[in-house]
Amino acid sequence: MVDLSTTYLGMTLKNPLVASASPLSKKLDGIRRLEDAGASAVVMYSLFEEQIVHESLELDHYLTRGTESFAEALTYFPDLGNYNVGPENYLDLIRKAKDSVSIPIIGSLNGVSTGGWVDYAQKIEQAGADALELNVYYLSGDVDLTSQELEKMYCDLVSDVRSKIHIPLSIKIGPFFTSLPNMAKRLVKSGANGLVLFNRFMQPDLDIETLEVTPNLKLSTSDELRLPLRWIAMLYKRVDADFALTSGVHTAQDMIKAMMAGASVTMVASELIAHGFKRIPEMLNDMRSWMESYEYVSVKQMKGSMSQQAVAEPAAYERANYMKALNSFDNRMPY
């Protein structure tokens, strides 16, 4: 019998398919359906720094509005019945999820700066989350901000969050670093137990009719698997962290490649949004069938078997393979 179990952030999971942060986890019913379909864990949809800061400022506005007026002017008190406590709803959803499902629930904070909003890491832990994923989504447009300053900002944020919680902490980052291996090492040193590669930056488009910038997010495809696959294969056993591969996981073959590269889990969203919860058992059954056909007994046996340290040609992951890849097109040219 094939053993699909794996370990991630100190947790033993029944399989490597984790539902990543997405609208699918915004309601309790969605979380239950993810468990019923076979997901081994759920990453909650992200709670954004902007949401927390906005709510804090709005509450401060309501509480201080009219303080210069007569104490008897009760109409100045905030209408708390109409006040939107979004972050509190988030914490409440975690509590309800922990009472309703048996799989691990991973909270998700999305932000870029240290500050009071980081206190919500502790609140997420207190709500019952088994781990926390910090999604650092930042694209610098400041020509005066140096790479050293930006990287220090990342590490300071991780250290700040780490100081607030005792549960495992993973960091979801983008690939845009001059030296990703060094940055990965520094993030782990700052307190990260796991690295999630990679978050998908929203790419704005231009509407040439209305002359407006139109932000949108397209669902991923399996072609996007290659970037995180390469980096996990290169970082495996070189950085002391668990790796989660996200972006581009749509099939059992994608999951198998991720495990062979060295990932502990794969995180799936686009495939489920596009084709529904039924894809979870389909992908897991396909993975199990493939492993049986090729005589793999466990995910543990497969993990890292095609990492850079394990393959016969380690340079295939680096520049040495560049000319070989370009030359592969020679026979396709129409001359």
Between 26-30, 53-57, 301-305, 327-331, the lowest mean confidence (pLDDT) is in 53-57
> Cα dihedral sign for 244, 246, 248, 252?
positive
Q: Phi and psi dihedrals of 161, rounded to 5? A: -65, -40
The pLDDT of residue 317 is 85
Residue 51 pLDDT > 80: no
Residue 72 pLDDT > 70: no
d(CA 317, CA 307): 9
Residue 320 pLDDT > 70: no
The pLDDT of residue 118 is 87
Cβ atoms of 117 and 53 within 8 Å: the answer is yes
d(CA 237, CA 308): 9
Q: Phi and psi dihedrals of 266, rounded to 5? A: -115, 145
Q: What is the pTM of this model?
A: 0.85
Beta bridge partners of 205: 214
Q: Phi and psi dihedrals of 197, rounded to 5? A: -120, 120
Structure-token pair, residue 286: 């396909």
Q: Which residue has the higher pLDDT, 67 or 296?
A: 296
Between 48-62, 122-136, 271-285, 307-321, the lowest mean confidence (pLDDT) is in 48-62
- Domains along the sequence of the chain with CATH: 6-332 (3.20.20.70)
